[in-house]
């Protein structure tokens, strides 16, 4: 079974903001060889969640995990992304899609925050 991962962020009108998700996807691809990795933006930029799911299916994916690249469990992660994923999944009968939790509280994020604070002076 071919598996895929879709990394979803909010999306921005600023290309450099969207480019960060592309860079993250490249790093994830380098670590996982068993998954097709695709990016998606909720709004403001392409590809959309619908387009990303379609790209995964076109690549042969039968199972997709959508990861909301958000810090907390807000309205986007609890309402908007599940709705958009459901709409995309409805176009591909038999496709299995799961949505992971957002980044949340994790010691690695604490370490990253402290590193950024140190960098700032």
Residue 37, SS3 per DSSP: strand
Q: Phi/psi zone of residue 60: left (φ > 0), alpha (ψ -120 to 50 degrees), beta? A: left
Convert the pLDDT of each residue in 22-41 to its tens digit: 999 999 999 998 999 999 99
Q: Measured between alpha carbons, how far is 88 from 53 in angstroms, rounded to an integer?
A: 7
Convert the pLDDT of each residue in 77-90 to its tens digit: 999 999 999 999 99
Task: Provide the residue range defining the domain that includes 21.
Answer: 3-120
CATH code of the domain covering residue 70: 3.40.50.1400
Q: How far is CA 13 from CA 51, 58, 59, in A?
A: 18, 27, 28
Q: State pTM to two decimals.
A: 0.94
Query: Among all residues, which ones are annotated catalytic?
Result: 10
State percent of the chain over pLDDT 90. Answer: 98
Quote the number of domains for the chain.
1
């Amino acid at each position: 079974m071919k598996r895929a991962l879709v990394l979803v962020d909010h999306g921005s009108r600023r290309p450099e903001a969207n480019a960060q998700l592309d860079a993250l996807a490249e790093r994830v691809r380098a670590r996982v060889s068993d998954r097709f990795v695709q990016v998606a933006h909720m709004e403001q930029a392409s590809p959309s969640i619908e387009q990303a799911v379609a790209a995964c299916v076109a690549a042969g994916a039968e199972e997709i995990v959508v990861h909301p690249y958000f810090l907390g469990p807000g309205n986007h992660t609890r309402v908007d992304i599940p709705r958009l994923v459901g709409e995309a999944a409805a176009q591909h009968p038999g496709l299995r899609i799961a949505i992971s939790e957002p980044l949340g509280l994790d010691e690695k994020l604490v370490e990253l925050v402290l590193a950024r604070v140190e960098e700032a002076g």
